[in-house]
Amino acid sequence: MVNANAYHFFTDWRVKARAEEISEVLGDATELPRWWPAVYLDVQRVKAGDENRIGEEISLYTKGFLPYTLRWSFIVTEVIPHKRIKLESRGDFVGYGIWTFEQDGEYTNVRYEWNIEAQKPLLKTLSPILKPIFEANHKWAMQTGLTSLELELQRRRATSDEERAQIAAPPAPTSSSPMPYVVGMVGGLLLLRRVLKVLFPSRRKRRRR
């Protein structure tokens, strides 16, 4: 039986760039807060790896659109240059992630497999009832990743400071305050209650008719 706090995602991107360009950007974890700031709030290298980064250990502080943060780390366990990067995670996420890169003409097909169990107490407790929301949080994070990656590739290709200055900033982190989400949730519940009353009128009203 699969645990309620187990998650297995596949995210596919098709990016107009060489596999080498993309793998170099994604392979340098310490740069993530600069170009993917909506998700990566802080990233620190704990241990250096070899020339291909195998054995590298990274500590991360991350978030999605929901008002909670995550602390976890990963170790790079496998690298096939410009084709595959595998990491093993621990902390609030325990499991593994795999990036794969396949050149297809002037495009690269990028896939990220993320197979983990959420160990953060909040996620572990609420996954049985709120799993779809947590899944949506991951999908949002990966969508901002694609947008941020495309902008970063544009910045790297820019031939002047003026050209680079014209490129939009990447998506920013959402608010860490829970109030917007609490208000939105309460409003949604009130709306749902009104809809249910219309669809399923009480027995008293039916009798009066």
pLDDT reading at 191 higher than 70 = no
Percent of the chain at pLDDT above 70?
85
What integer pLDDT is reported at residue 19 of this predicted model?
98
Answer yes or no: do 107 and 61 share one domain. Answer: yes
Domain of 192, in residue numbers = 177-209
Q: Evaluate whether residue 51 is within a structural domain.
A: yes
Asked if 109 and 28 sit in the same domain, the reply is: yes
Say whether both 106 and 192 belong to one domain.
no
Q: Kindly report the average pLDDT of the chain as a whole number.
A: 90
What per-residue confidence (pLDDT) applies to 99?
99
In Å, what is the CA distance from 156 to each residue of 43, 49, 151? Answer: 21, 25, 9
**CA gap 49, 39 in Å, rounded:** 24
Note whether 72 and 116 are same-domain residues: yes
- Helices 121-157 and 19-27 cross at an angle (nearest 10°) of 130
Residue 205 — very low, low, confident or very high, per pLDDT cuts 50/70/90? low
Total count of domains within the chain: 2
- What is the SS3 assignment for 148? helix
Residues 103, 32 within the same domain:
yes
Residue 1 lies in a domain: no
Average pLDDT of the segment spanning 48-66: 96
- Tell me: do 194 and 100 sit in the same domain: no
Q: Pick the residue with more confidence: 114 or 130?
A: 114
Q: Which is it for the CA torsion 152, 58, 83, 115, positive or negative?
A: negative
Over the stretch 138-156, which tens digit does the pLDDT of each residue have?
999 999 999 999 999 999 9
Do 168 and 74 sit in the same domain of this protein? Answer: yes
Does 130 reside within a domain?
Answer: yes
Question: CA end-to-end span of the chain, whole Å?
Answer: 50
The amino acid occupying position 190 is L
